[in-house]
A = this chain, B = another copy of it.
Amino acid sequence: MDTAYVIDTLFTLFSITLIILMVPGFAMLEAGLVRTKNVSSVLTVNVMIYAVASMAFILVGFHLAFGDFQSTTMSQWAFFMFQMAFVGKAINIMSGGVGERARLLPLTLFTVIMGAFIYPTAVNISWGSDWIKDTVFDLSFVDLAGSTVIHSTGGWALLAAILIIGPRKGRYVGDQIRVIPASNIPLVVLGAMLLWIGWFGFNGGSVGSIATKEAADSVALTIFNTNAAGLAGAIAAGVLIYLRYKLFDITMILNGALGGLVAITAGPHLYTLYDSLAVGLIGGVLVVLAVPLFDRFRIDDPVGALSVHLVNGIWGTLAVGLFASNPAKGITFLNQLKGVGEIAVFVFTVSFVIIYAINKLVAFRASDDDQVQGLDVSECGLEAYPEFKRAI
């Protein structure tokens, strides 16, 4: 008994460090994808989110999500911190997609509300216990590590934000879509790989225990499948892009990998290896198809967050109903679809209202002049690379 408690605590602490490694992961990925004049701003947003969302969740959100729940199978502090490590991710997804034009103060206000209320409510009705879940409604769908609860939640909040804040100045001019190249590819690769590795803790840790033979198999299968879906997503995106352009586009390959990772997240413990490859492969294809689609609707998302997290969050949750359907256990396509839909309605509506309200109080969108100059100067007072001469 004590041995299981000890091992699960150690396993959860290990998972936590991998998840928190996703903080520099997201930060490097986004810093590499935006223009140099907005790099400090984007980095500050990432650090702010980790600090503010975690604090909001510690002080308010955790209780809202889990009520008086006490972990008895591992140290309560490990359980608490594991849950805390998740909250920033949903907001990171949202903040990345409004990069290069969203101001920091309103983003901070939204982070407080999302970390204290919106995300914890989504957790409660999906994974939690206690008052909302028992008295209001219980989403009985499978979402092991948050294809919906984390990734779609972040994606729906992002969609609401983009509709209110609008595209970056100069992105859509007349009929033209201006391509804005990533400024630092090594950071993109570093960030994506840190996210990939962090995912092992995210999904593996979500199994909840490693302390029996069956649990150990489940955790190892989960991590194996998670990685396999990432591999398949990368290869699918790479092949598609190569067939079309005869070029190897590393940002698209990495977004394909991340798409596969998002897609597998709802059910990696339920799949065979070949299921996982299929889920990840489709995830990579969806990213390649979705990126130009959002642009066609003038939904400007500099890091591809909607394609990676929202589209694949939905796909991954539905995939459980396709590949791991088990009506005897209540796992059906319809239940999965219902889960996707209910979180969509809840998160999009609440986020839209709150972002709209904050925007009335403090403008979310940086002025055109500040965007042209770069948010680093207007928001942070310091440039990311002050000594390097700019070519463009």
Asked if A220 is an interface residue, CB under 8 A from chain B, the answer is: yes
Which residues of A from 1 to 53 have beta carbons under 8 Å from B? Answer: 2-3, 5-7, 9-14, 16-18, 20-21, 23-24, 27-28, 31-32, 35-36, 39-41, 43-44, 46-48, 50-52
Given contacts A28-B190, A189-B46, A223-B16, contact A385 B184 (CB under 8 A): yes
Contact between B216 and A6, CB atoms less than 8 A apart: yes
Count residues of chain A with CB under 8 A from any CB of chain B.
Answer: 105
Among A127-135, A170-178, A250-258, the one that faces the other chain is: A250-258
Contact between A40 and B185, CB atoms less than 8 A apart: yes
Within 8 Å by CB of A217, from B10, B27, B75, B219, lies B75
Asked if A58 is an interface residue, CB under 8 A from chain B, the answer is: yes
Contact between B28 and A250, CB atoms less than 8 A apart: no
Within 8 Å by CB of A28, from B52, B78, B81, B186, lies B186
Copy count, this protein chain: 3
Complex Cα gap A6–B23 (Å): 29
Asked if A227 is an interface residue, CB under 8 A from chain B, the answer is: yes
Residues of chain B within 8 A (CB-CB) of A74 are 216, 220
Asked if A77 is an interface residue, CB under 8 A from chain B, the answer is: yes
Contact between A10 and B10, CB atoms less than 8 A apart: yes
Contact between B387 and A391, CB atoms less than 8 A apart: yes
Minimum Cβ distance to chain B for residue A317 (Å)? 23
Closest partner residue, chain B, to A375 (CB atom): B248
Contact between A197 and B381, CB atoms less than 8 A apart: no
Among A232-240, A297-305, A333-341, A357-365, the one that faces the other chain is: A232-240
Residues of chain B within 8 A (CB-CB) of A345 are none
Minimum Cβ distance to chain B for residue A225 (Å)? 8
Asked if A80 is an interface residue, CB under 8 A from chain B, the answer is: yes
Asked if A224 is an interface residue, CB under 8 A from chain B, the answer is: yes
Minimum Cβ distance to chain B for residue A14 (Å)? 6
Given contacts A14-B14, A213-B5, contact A197 B21 (CB under 8 A): yes
Minimum Cβ distance to chain B for residue A217 (Å)? 5
Complex Cα gap A213–B8 (Å): 11
Complex Cα gap A190–B31 (Å): 11
Within 8 Å by CB of A44, from B35, B76, B211, B253, lies B253
Complex Cα gap A44–B254 (Å): 9
Minimum Cβ distance to chain B for residue A178 (Å)? 14
Asked if A104 is an interface residue, CB under 8 A from chain B, the answer is: yes
Asked if A139 is an interface residue, CB under 8 A from chain B, the answer is: no
Residues of chain B within 8 A (CB-CB) of A217 are 9, 75-77
Contact between A200 and B17, CB atoms less than 8 A apart: yes
Asked if A187 is an interface residue, CB under 8 A from chain B, the answer is: yes
28 contacts between A and B (CB under 8 A): A2-B212, A3-B3, A5-B216, A6-B210, A6-B212, A7-B10, A9-B217, A10-B14, A10-B210, A13-B220, A16-B223, A17-B201, A20-B200, A24-B189, A36-B388, A43-B185, A47-B189, A51-B235, A51-B253, A76-B217, A77-B217, A77-B221, A181-B386, A184-B385, A190-B190, A247-B379, A248-B380, A389-B390
